[in-house]
Amino acid sequence: MSRNVPSRSAGAQTFPSFEVSLLSSDLAVRDALARILRELDPLSLDIEETGTVELVLAEVLNNIVEHAYPTEAGGGQIRVFCQPAQDGLHVRITDCGAAMPEGHLPLGRAVEVDVDFSELPEGGFGWFLIQDLAKDVEYARVGEQNRLSMRLPVGIPA
């Protein structure tokens, strides 16, 4: 492949990567999601794609706030690095909180909805939504750092 200058019409190809960082708290997650969606504005994602990005990243960040940094009231640093590419939005999220239980990703099974009223699930939706909507989800514990990477199939040129 020769080093052609990417054409302007290729959108995602020329779109720059960006990083958003936050200190772990529920409200900071809200703010970070808004910043990420603003950065993605030039990609002109449709409403379903925007929903995918917002929902998956909300679940990932909420999990970090709740489980990786459970005792750090507004303390733990989280970084979200986004790289738009031809095959979607590549995202890497890092934090220095507690490792995933047993060192690997939860399975993200669908919750059981055909159950008695009193047994209806009030949680357990998060990892299912992440695994359902994101591709190539990978987790590694590197030293004191959690590294989660994934590809969101959005903004793919037709």
Binding site for another protein (CB under 8 A): 26-27, 29-30, 47-48, 50-51, 54-55, 58-59, 62, 65-66, 110-111, 113, 117-118, 120-123, 125-126, 128-129, 132-133
Q: Where are the alpha helices (DSSP H) in 12-136?
A: 26-40, 47-63, 126-133
Shortest spacing between CB 6 and another protein, in angstroms: 31
- Rounded alpha-carbon distances, angstroms, from residue 107 to 111, 126, 132: 11, 11, 11
Do 155 and 12 contact (CB within 8 A), yes or no?
Answer: yes
Indicate the residue among 32 and 82 with the shorter CB distance to another protein: 32
Given the structure tokens 């047994």, which residue do they identify? 119
- Beta-bridge partner residues of 22: 78
Shortest spacing between CB 69 and another protein, in angstroms: 13
Shortest spacing between CB 158 and another protein, in angstroms: 21
Indicate the residue among 121 and 157 with the shorter CB distance to another protein: 121
- Rounded alpha-carbon distances, angstroms, from residue 98 to 62, 66, 70: 14, 10, 9
Indicate the residue among 52 and 94 with the shorter CB distance to another protein: 52
Indicate the residue among 50 and 83 with the shorter CB distance to another protein: 50
